[in-house]
Amino acid sequence: MSEITEKLFMYLELPFVRYAVIVGVLIALCSSLLGVTLVLKRFSFIGDGLSHVAFGAMAVASVLNVSNDMVIVLPVTVVSAILLLSGGRKAKIKGDAAIAMISVGALAFGYLLMNIFSTSSNLSGDVCSTLFGSTSILTLTSKEVWLCVALSVAVVVIFLLFYNKIFAVTFDEDFSKAVGTKAQRYNFLLATVIAVIIVLAMNLVGSLLISALVIFPALSAMRIFRSFKAVTICSAVVSVICAFVGIIISILAGTPVGSTIVAADAVVFIIFYIAGMIRGGVQ
Amino acid sequence: MEQLICRDVSLGYEGNAIISGLNFSIGSGDYLCIVGENGSGKSTLMKTLLGLIPPLSGEIVRGGGLCANEIGYLPQQTAIQRDFPASVTEIVLSGFQAHCGMRPFYNKEEKRTALENMERLGITDLAKRCYRELSGGQQQRVLLARALCATTKLLLLDEPVAGLDPMVTADMYALIDSLNKEGVTIIMISHDICAAVKYASHILHIGDVLFFGTKQEYLRSDVSKYFSGECVKR
Ligand SMILES: Nc1ncnc2c1ncn2[C@@H]1O[C@H](COP(=O)(O)OP(=O)(O)OP(=O)(O)O)[C@@H](O)[C@H]1O
Ligand SMILES: [Mg+2]
C-alpha cells in the first residue's frame, strides 16, 4: 500500500500529471454542471455532434490553406452549438435528430472535401484526432491549463448566478416566457457557455470523453435524487471524484486516461442504478 | 383601467386562422371567463394573449402599467419531461423567477410567500416530493401555486379545476374569487359553465359565433342558450 502512495506522490510531483489532474477535474466539473441541463434538453450527444462539425470546419480550413485552423473551427462550432441549443421547444427538428443531422452532414462534407482536395496525407489520422482529442490530456502546456482554469471559473460563476433561471427555463419554457423571463436570452447564454466548454474540452480531452462526462454523472444522479438541486450537486461531486480517481488509476496502472475516466463513471452509474432500484423498491 | 385590449385579432398556427375578428378588452379587477367547445381555440387565445404565439393579424395592447412580470399563468398541459428531477418547492418558487430581476437567488419574503401559497392549496406535505411522482390533481395544484407566486395583477388560468376533486375544486373557486376581490384580474378558461356564470363578471364565448360581454348580457343572449344548458336558466 505504502508503495502505491509513494508512487502516487512521485507522479504528482511531475507537472504534466498535475496539469492533467487539474484540467481533467475542472472539465469534469463544468461538463457535469451543464450535463444535467443537456440531458434534460435531450442534447446528450452534443459533444459528439460538435466534434464532427469541428472536423468539417477543419477540412474547410485545410482546403482554404488557413494556417491556424482554430480561426475557422472555433466560430463554426460555437455557432452550430448555438443554433442547435437556442432553437428551444419551437424548433421544427430538435434534440437528437438535429444533432444527428448536423454531425453526419458535417462529417460527410468534411471527408468529401478532404478527399477531393486531398492536402493531407494522413486522412484517417486527422479524423481520429478530432474524435479522441488532438492533444492528449497528458501533454498539456501551462498556457492551456490556465485557459481551462479561467474558463471553468467563468462557467461555474455563470452557472451559480443563473442557476434559478436555468432551472426555470429548462423546466417550463412557456411559463417562463409568459411571466416575463427573457427565456431566449438564457437559452442563448447557456448555448454559448456549453459551446465554448465543449470546443475547449474537445481539443484537450477529445469528444468521446466529453460525451461521457456530460451523460454519466447526470444520469447517475438522476437515479437517486429527485430534486434539481440535489441532482446538480450530486452529479458535480460524482463527476469530479470519477475524473480524479480515473486519472490516478490510469497513471498508476498505465491505462489510457480518457477510457479510464469513462469506465469509472460507468461503474458509478451501475452502482447508482442498483441503489436507485433498491430505494425505489423500499419506498 | 384597461389592462389588455384585443383589436381585431386573428390567431392560429402557421398562418391558418382559428379565430378571427376578435375584439374585447379587460379592465383591472375584471373576472373574465372564456368558454367554448373543445378545439375552438381557447388555449390558443390565451397563449396569444401571453405573447407565446404571435397574433396573425390585429394587435394586443397591454395597458394600465401592466408589466409582463406581474402576470401569472397556469397552462392546460405542460410538456414537462417524464424524467425531469424537480421538487415541488423548486417548482413553486420558480413562479418568482421574473420578480428577482438580476438577483440570482430567491429572498426570504419570496420563500415565505411560496410556503403560504402551498398551504393555501394544501400541498405543504408534498413540498419535498418529486413533481413527476405526483398524481394529476396534485401536479395541477403545484402549478397553481406557482402561478399564484408569479401573479400580482393578472392571472390567466387554463382550465384550473380540470383533474381536481370536488372539495379542492370548491376551494379553488373560492380562492380565485378572493384573489379577484383583492384586485387581481382573472382570465379563466373553463368548461364549468355553472361556475363561470356564478363568479365571472365578463364572458367571452368562442366558437362559430363570437360573443363578448358582461355576464348579464351573456345570459340574455342567444349564444348562451344552446351552449350552457341548465345552469343558466336557474
Ligand atoms: N401546436 C399546434 N399546431 C397547430 N395546430 C394546433 C396546435 N395546437 C392546437 N392546434 C389546433 O388549434 C385548434 C384550437 O386548439 P386549442 O388548444 O386552442 O383548443 P381549446 O379551445 O383550448 O380546446 P380544449 O377545450 O380541448 O382545451 C385545434 O383545432 C387544434 O387542432
Ligand atoms: Mg385548451
Lowest mean pLDDT among A106-120, A225-239, A266-280: A106-120
- Beta strands at B185-189 and B31-36: parallel, antiparallel or unpaired: parallel
At residue A283, the pLDDT reads 47
Nearest protein Cα to ligand 1, atom 19: B39
Which of B71, B90, B105 is the closest to A178 by Cβ? B71
Cα torsion A130, A54, A188, A37: sign: negative
Per residue of chain B (234 residues), give pLDDT as tens: 788 899 999 998 988 889 888 999 999 899 999 998 898 999 999 999 998 889 999 999 888 777 778 899 999 877 667 778 999 999 999 999 988 777 888 999 999 999 999 998 889 999 999 998 888 888 888 998 999 999 888 999 999 988 888 888 888 899 899 889 988 999 999 988 888 888 999 999 998 888 898 888 888 877 766 555 556 554
Q: Which of B203, B181, B182 is nearest to B192 (CA)?
A: B203
Cα torsion A112, A115, A120, A123: sign: positive
Whole-number Å distance between alpha carbons of B10 and B21: 6
> Chain B contacts of A227, Cβ < 8 Å?
85-87, 89-90, 128, 130
Q: Please name the residue of chain A whose CA is at the shortest distance from the CA of residue B154.
A: A179
| Domain spanning A2-282: CATH 3.40.980.10 | no
Index of the ligand 1 atom closest to the CA of residue B12: 12
pLDDT above 80 (res A205): no
Whole-number Å distance between alpha carbons of A157 and B189: 42
Q: Identify the nearest ligand to the CA of B41 by its number.
A: 1
Q: Residue A212, Cα to own-chain centre: how many angstroms?
A: 7
Tell me: the pLDDT tens digits for B23-36? Answer: 999 998 999 999 98
Q: Kind and range of the H or E element at B204?
A: strand B202-206
Q: Which of A30, A25, A26, A58 is nearest to A194 (CA)?
A: A30
ipTM of the shown complex: 0.88
Whole-number Å distance between alpha carbons of B115 and A155: 32
At residue A258, the pLDDT reads 82
Ligand 1 centroid–CA B41 distance in Å is: 5
> Chain B contacts of A168, Cβ < 8 Å?
94, 97
Q: Which of A3, A10, A20, A6 is nearest to A246 (CA)?
A: A20
Tell me: the pLDDT tens digits for A52-82? Answer: 887 788 788 878 877 666 678 778 888 888 8
Whole-number Å distance between alpha carbons of B148 and B180: 12
Whole-number Å distance between alpha carbons of B192 and B203: 12
User: Taking a C-beta distance cutoff of 8 angstroms, is the pair B199, B31 a contact?
Assistant: yes
Tell me: the pLDDT tens digits for A28-54? Answer: 999 999 899 888 888 888 878 887 887
Cross-strand pairs, B186: B31, B155
A203's grid cell: 481539443
- Domain boundaries of chain A, sorted by first residue: 2-282
Q: CA distances (Å), A217 to each of A124, A195, A197, in order?
A: 31, 19, 17
CB contact under 8 A, B80 and A167: no
Contacts of A275 (CB under 8 A, 6+ apart): A223, A224
Whole-number Å distance between alpha carbons of B103 and B97: 10
CB pairs under 8 A between A and B: 96
pLDDT above 50 (res A190): yes
Which of A160, A167, A180 is the closest to B98 by Cβ? A180
A27's grid cell: 472539465
Beta-sheet strands, E only, within chain A: none
Whole-number Å distance between alpha carbons of A177 and B98: 9
Q: Which residues of A touch B (CB under 8 A)?
A: 40, 89, 160-165, 167-168, 171-172, 174-181, 221-222, 225-231
Ligand 1 interacting residues, C-beta cut-off 6 A: B 13, 18, 36, 38-44, 76
Index of the ligand 1 atom closest to the CA of residue B13: 4
Which of A172, A175, A180 is the closest to B67 by Cβ? A180
Go through chain B and tell me how many residues it has.
234
CB contact under 8 A, B91 and A171: yes
Ligand 1 centroid–CA B210 distance in Å is: 17
Whole-number Å distance between alpha carbons of A136 and A278: 39
Whole-number Å distance between alpha carbons of A135 and A141: 10
